Structures are given as structure tokens and as C-alpha cells.
């Protein structure tokens, strides 16, 4: 009974975290999408701005391969991640912090998947005009071809490369220049926490989830 309650509690907490962060991510994107024109910037502070851009790539605007293949890869990867998270929770061998960190990454992944799946179908274009919600199929793109909404911009340091620099001499330099969204931040923070605090737990989880180890466990159970 105690074992079952522990599993249920962990599942509830991880599910709640994923749902909460998905709501925050989508609420921020929908507000930007329906309030700003693509390329518009709102200055919150000298080091923090809302800068609305859309991209067809991965986190921080990285583009690899075709849009369709990238979206399908995201769906497969995050679906597998969610499946294995549930399996890891049911093992009851890992700390709640580790489970919530995995949930953070999964929430970020699904947040960007929602953009790719639906935004092209339900929003008009943001180029030159604020986007509007439109009937399904009347949007700027097709299913699986929606663009990811980015808006968080932190140009903390603005300077120029020195004239003697062998590359980009005299050109402007900005740190931190990537524009990202809340989902990207969830993924980045989650991965950083895994690397800093949960490397051993992650390695153990991969070992326990390996096909050979799973077969051994099933044989023992029989």
C-alpha cells in the first residue's frame, strides 16, 4: 500500500509540474503571438527585452534538416521520454528531485511541440500585423509545420570585438544573444541540473531501462 501511494504521489507531482509549465509556456506564447508583430521589441530593462521572433528549428532557433522531420523527431523523442519517465517513477529507486528534473525537460519539449503541431493551423501570420486566432485550417501553415514562438532576449553585455581580433574585428558583440522561450528555458535548466546533480541517477536509469536489463528483470519475475 505504501509503495503504491509513493508511486501515485510521484506521478501526480510530475504530471502537475509538466501541466503547470505547459500552461505558463503556452500562455506566454499566445500573449506574444496575439499582442506583437514579428520583429517587435518591448524593453523591460536594458538587459532584458521581449523580442518576438518565430523559428522553424529547435531550442534557441537551431535549425537542423526539414521542418517535418524535426517535428516528427520531437514527437517521438518526447513521447519516449514521457513513457520512460513513467517507468522510472514506478521503479521507486530515484529521488523526487531527479524525477521532477526529468519532468522539466519533458515539459519544455512538449511546449515547443504544441507550437509545431497547431500554431500554423489556428493563427494568422505575424508578419506585418498582429496575428489573430482563425478557424482550423485557415492559418499561416499546415499541421506539423507551425513555427515556434520565441520572445525572451537577454543582451546582458554589449561591446565590440577589438580591432586586433583575427575574427569579427571591430564588429558588435552581444552576450547573451540567443532569443528563446519558456519551454527552451525548461529544457536548458533541466539538462543543466541533470549534468550537475543527477549524472549518476541518469546513468543508473539508462542502465535499468536497457533492453538486456529489462529482459533479465522479466525473467526473474517469472
Active-site annotation, residues: 150, 184
Report the SS3 class of residue 158: strand
Cell of 120: 500554423
3-state helix vs strand vs coil in the chain, percent to 5: 55, 15, 30
Sorted by sequence, the CB contacts under 8 Å of residue 124 that are 6+ apart come out as: 131, 132, 134, 138, 139, 140
Residue matched to cell numbers 515539459: 107
Residue 145: φ, ψ to 5° = -115, 20
Each as own residue / partner, the long-range contacts of residues 209-216 (CB below 8 Å, 24 or more positions apart, any chain) are 209/84, 209/87, 209/88
Amino acid at each position: 500500500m505504501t509503495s503504491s501511494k509513493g508511486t501515485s504521489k510521484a506521478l501526480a507531482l510530475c504530471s502537475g509540474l509538466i501541466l503547470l509549465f505547459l500552461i505558463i509556456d503556452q500562455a506566454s506564447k499566445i500573449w506574444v503571438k496575439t499582442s506583437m508583430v514579428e520583429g517587435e521589441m518591448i524593453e523591460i530593462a536594458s538587459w532584458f527585452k521581449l523580442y518576438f521572433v518565430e523559428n522553424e528549428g529547435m531550442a534557441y532557433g537551431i535549425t537542423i534538416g526539414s521542418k517535418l522531420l524535426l517535428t516528427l523527431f520531437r514527437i517521438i523523442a518526447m513521447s519516449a521520454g514521457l513513457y520512460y519517465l513513467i517507468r522510472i517513477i514506478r521503479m521507486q529507486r530515484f529521488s523526487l528531485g531527479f524525477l521532477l528534473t526529468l519532468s522539466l525537460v519533458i515539459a519544455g519539449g512538449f511546449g515547443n511541440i504544441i507550437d509545431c503541431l497547431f500554431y500554423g493551423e489556428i493563427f494568422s501570420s505575424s508578419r506585418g500585423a498582429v496575428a489573430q486566432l482563425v478557424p482550423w485550417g485557415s492559418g499561416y501553415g499546415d499541421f506539423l509545420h507551425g513555427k515556434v514562438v520565441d520572445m525572451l532576449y537577454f543582451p546582458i553585455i554589449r561591446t565590440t570585438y577589438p580591432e586586433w581580433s583575427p575574427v569579427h574585428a571591430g564588429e558588435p558583440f552581444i552576450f547573451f544573444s540567443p532569443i528563446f522561450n519558456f519551454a527552451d528555458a525548461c529544457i536548458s535548466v533541466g539538462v543543466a541540473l541533470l549534468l550537475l546533480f543527477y549524472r549518476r541517477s541518469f546513468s543508473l536509469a539508462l542502465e535499468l531501462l536497457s533492453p538486456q536489463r529489462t529482459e533479465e528483470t522479466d525473467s526473474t519475475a517469472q
